[in-house]
Structure 1
């Protein structure tokens, strides 16, 4: 199998990396965190680069690119721990282009592509514990459509988004709806999360909603799997930069009159960090390549990838902090922000323990040493 990237993908990587290095400095990120964790100007710059349009079909003013291109983008944005939730654009595109009726696609996908509309997934509920089939949100039929009553937690940029993709119960099954933030009955409470990004609690009280699909659970699984693949790629970028920062620090920090990079025990720990990074990179590739697979195969692949990424993120983040010493956890020093990002990514779309359970539950009957 050929794992080389195409010339177009390398050019895409280079363009995003240049923007991160020159346009999204650590100082700009700190200012965005202080201002609430979401910068609409930065989001518009991502749109100008074509990133919000990347996976939108060409028929709806998009670029029509695939999962590997999205992976390249997410990885490079991870290097700069960019706060703006580009993964949500990929999720919205995936759900709307695969499941929404034609008129909804025509109304929303061009706006997603241009960056005009930020459409985010609002699926997490307090009792769900990452389980997608647990949903207490209720929908009822109304004369002009449907009305939703729900409370959704940790919705990315929820009080800044233009619309939400919301699963809810209708006639005993999970159905997927689109709800505009400005609709009646919608209230949001925004806050800054652990890694500095923005999220919100979203409450719907008989809020008018537009039906996306009655095959809600399948659509929700695709949405979450798209998010997992993007999260894995982003984590690889975060870990890669974390390792680079740590190595740079070790080549500058002296103890007993010599650079600590010369200590064999510390060199071994860096080697272990790089090994975990490469394991994570392989599984990130695996996740993105499996996004187009049948649902059962895709779900197994995402769980496997998230387990390895979770283990790698925890190891790389903790080792980076330990190799830096006390400065590694100070707000003024950049590596602490990479550590916090890795900590939050580990629990995004299901933590390591949850996905370990998913891997176990999805094993075939022939799995095991006695097969």
Structure 2
């Protein structure tokens, strides 16, 4: 199998890397965190690079590129632990592209592609954990219009988004609705998350909504899988930068008159970090390549990827902190922010244990001893 990237893909990587290096410094990121964890100007700069239009079909005003291109972009954003939720744009645009009626696509996809509108997924509820089929939110229809009652938790940039893609039960089945943030009966409570990004709890009381699809479970599974693929690539970039910073620190930090990078035991730990990074990278590739498979195979593959990514993120983050010592957990030093990002990513779109269970459930017919 050919894992070489095309010239266009390499040019895309270089363009995003230049923006991260020159336009999204650690100091700028700290300022964004101090200002609330989301910067519309920075999100607009992503749009100017064409990243918000990346996977939107050309007929809907996008670039019409694929999952591998998105993976390349997310890796580079991960190296800079960029806070703005491009993952959510990839998730929602993919769901709308495959499930939304033409009128909804025409209304929202061009605006999302241009960066004019930010739409995020509002699916998570406290009782549901990571299961898309557990949904307490309800929707009702009256006079060809819909309203939604819901409380959704930890919605990325929820109080800054222009609209939410909300799951709710309609006539006994889980459906998806688009709800505008300024709609009557809608409110939100924003806050910083552990990694410095922004999230919100969203409250809807008889709020007008637009029906996207009544195939809510299938659409939410696609949303989760798209999110896993994007966040996996982002995590690879974050781990790569974490490893590089740790190796640089070990070459500078001295004990007994020599750099600690010369200590064999510590070199072995760096080698273990590198091994976990490469395992994660290969599974990130696997995840992106499997996004186009039929739902059953796609779900299993993405859960397999998330299990490995979760293990790698935890290992690389913890080893980086251990090898740095006390400075590794100080807010002033960059490694602590990568550690917090990797820790939070491990729980995004289902944590490692949840996906280990999903892999187990999907291999019952093939696991075990064969006669």
TM-score range, shorter chain: over 0.9
Residue 194 of structure 2 corresponds to 194
Residue aligning to 1:143? 143
**In 1, Cα distance between equivalents of 2:370 and 2:319:** 37
Aligned to 2:116: 116
**1 CA distance for matches of 2:238 and 2:72?**
13
Matches within 5 A, 1:117-136: 117-136=117-136
Runs of 5+ unmatched residues, structure 1: none
Name the CA distance, whole Å, in 2 between partners of 1:296 and 1:311. Answer: 23
- Whole-Å Cα distance in 2 between the matches of residues 48 and 12 of structure 1? 13
Q: CA deviation at 1:369?
A: 4.1
Cα distance in 2 between the residues matched to 1:72 and 1:248: 24
Q: Distance in 2 between matches of 1:368 and 1:70?
A: 37
Range with bigger deviation, 137-146 or 224-233 = 137-146
Hey, what does 1:161 align to over in structure 2? Answer: 161
Q: Which secondary structure state, in structure 2, belongs to the residue aligned with residue 176 of structure 1?
A: strand
CA distance in 1, matches of 2:180, 2:113: 17
For residues 42-76 of structure 1, the C-alpha deviation after alignment (integer angstroms, 9 at most, x for no partner) is: 00000000000000000111000000000000110
Alpha-carbon separation, structure 2, partners of 1:156 and 1:276: 28
Show CA shifts across 1:247-274 (max 9, x none): 0000100000000000000000000000
Q: CA deviation at 1:364?
A: 4.1
Instruction: Tell me how far apart the structure 1 counterparts of residues 370 and 356 of structure 2 sit (CA, whole Å).
Output: 21
Corresponding residue for residue 107 of structure 2: 107
Q: Distance in 2 between matches of 1:234 and 1:314?
A: 14
**Runs of at least 5 residues in structure 2 that lack an aligned partner in the other structure:** none
| Counterpart-to-counterpart distance in 1, 2:175 and 2:35 | 36
Question: What does residue 361 of structure 1 align with?
Answer: 361
Structure 2 counterpart SS, 1:83: coil
Once residues 178 and 369 of structure 2 are traced to their aligned partners in structure 1, the CA distance between those partners, rounded to angstroms, is 46
Report runs of 4+ in structure 1 exceeding 6 Å deviation.
none
Q: What is the CA–CA distance in structure 1 between the aligned matches of 2:292 and 2:176, rounded to whole Å? A: 21
Q: Which residue number in structure 1 is paired with residue 266 of structure 2?
A: 266
* 2:296 pairs with 1:279: no
Return the offset for 1:88: 0.8
Question: RMSD in angstroms over aligned alpha carbons?
Answer: 0.7
1:60 equivalent in structure 2: 60
Which residue does the alignment assign to 2:220? Answer: 220
* 1:44 aligned onto 2:44: yes
Q: Which residue number corresponds to residue 22 of structure 1?
A: 22
SS where residue 354 of structure 1 aligns?
Answer: helix
Equivalence for 1:205: 205
Secondary structure in 2 matching 1:332: coil
What TM-score do you get using the length of structure 2 for normalisation?
0.99
Partner of 1:181: 181
C-alpha deviation, 1:214, in angstroms: 1.0
- How many residues end up aligned between the 2 structures? 371
Match of 1:255 in 2: 255
Structure 2 residue 234 is the aligned partner of structure 1 residue 234: yes
Cα separation, 1, equivalents of 2:352 and 2:232:
12
